[in-house]
Amino acid sequence: DVAFIVLLAGVGVPAEDLMVRQASLIMKANGATDDVVKVNETAQREMFAIVRAEKDPEVAEPKLREVGDALMKQLAALDPALAEAGKAGIEGSVQMVNSPWFRYWLAFDPAATLKRVQVPVLALNGSLDLQVDPKQNLPAIEKALREGGNQDVTVEELPGLNHLFQSATTGSPTEYATIEETMAPVAMKKISDWILARTSAQRK
């Protein structure tokens, strides 16, 4: 019943790979050092491993907090100011990764679903998208669709646009609220032209 699909900043890789890349890119954009980024990446993967191995959220929670506490100590050694600012973020991360939704998402492989899609697909990402890295996700989306036998796949990275398809400078989420543009005209035109090209013949 679906005529076509337009994926805007769609995910093509497992959640763990997406979240680690996302955090690293955003932290670097906000000035974090390579050492800080590496420590955070290790903690993320440890948390994801706990959630995968322990199905009971109540049992998983103290283990997740141990990882969070260890991360805080490491951050404090590298940058005390960053550690202080990160306390609330770590608490939020513990709650998020232990939630039913995140547990489902962590086990979900987008490629398996994409391989079943046979209708036309347009997949777009902004080149400055730090939340869903186009270099990581667009090739994965295209690969899965084509491996499934999809004959109408269009994948494109739009220069200078962020995760919300706004014209941006850095792509950092902290920049979103400072941009007046809702959505770049180039993105809207790309979408409308693609849809019209696949539906105009059906309307005649």
Model pLDDT, residue 88: 67
CA-closest candidate to residue 168, choices 187, 185, 184: 184
Model pLDDT, residue 86: 67
35-84 per-position pLDDT tens digit: 989 999 999 999 999 999 999 999 999 999 999 889 888 888 887 777 66
Q: Which strands form 121-126's sheet, in the order they lie side by side?
A: 5-8, 121-126, 153-158
Model pLDDT, residue 91: 80
Residues 98/132, Cβ–Cβ less than 8 Å: no
Model pLDDT, residue 79: 77
Residue 48 identity: F
CA-closest candidate to residue 195, choices 127, 125, 139, 124: 124
Instruction: Specify which residues 52 forms β-bridges with.
Output: none
| Average pLDDT by stretches of 10, the chain with 204 residues | 95 95 93 90 95 94 92 84 70 90 93 97 98 98 98 98 97 95 98 94 58
Model pLDDT, residue 203: 56
Model pLDDT, residue 30: 87
Helices (H) and strands (E) in the chain, counts: 8, 3
Model pLDDT, residue 76: 81
Model pLDDT, residue 18: 96
Model pLDDT, residue 201: 64
In a 3-state reduction of DSSP, which class is residue 34?
Answer: helix
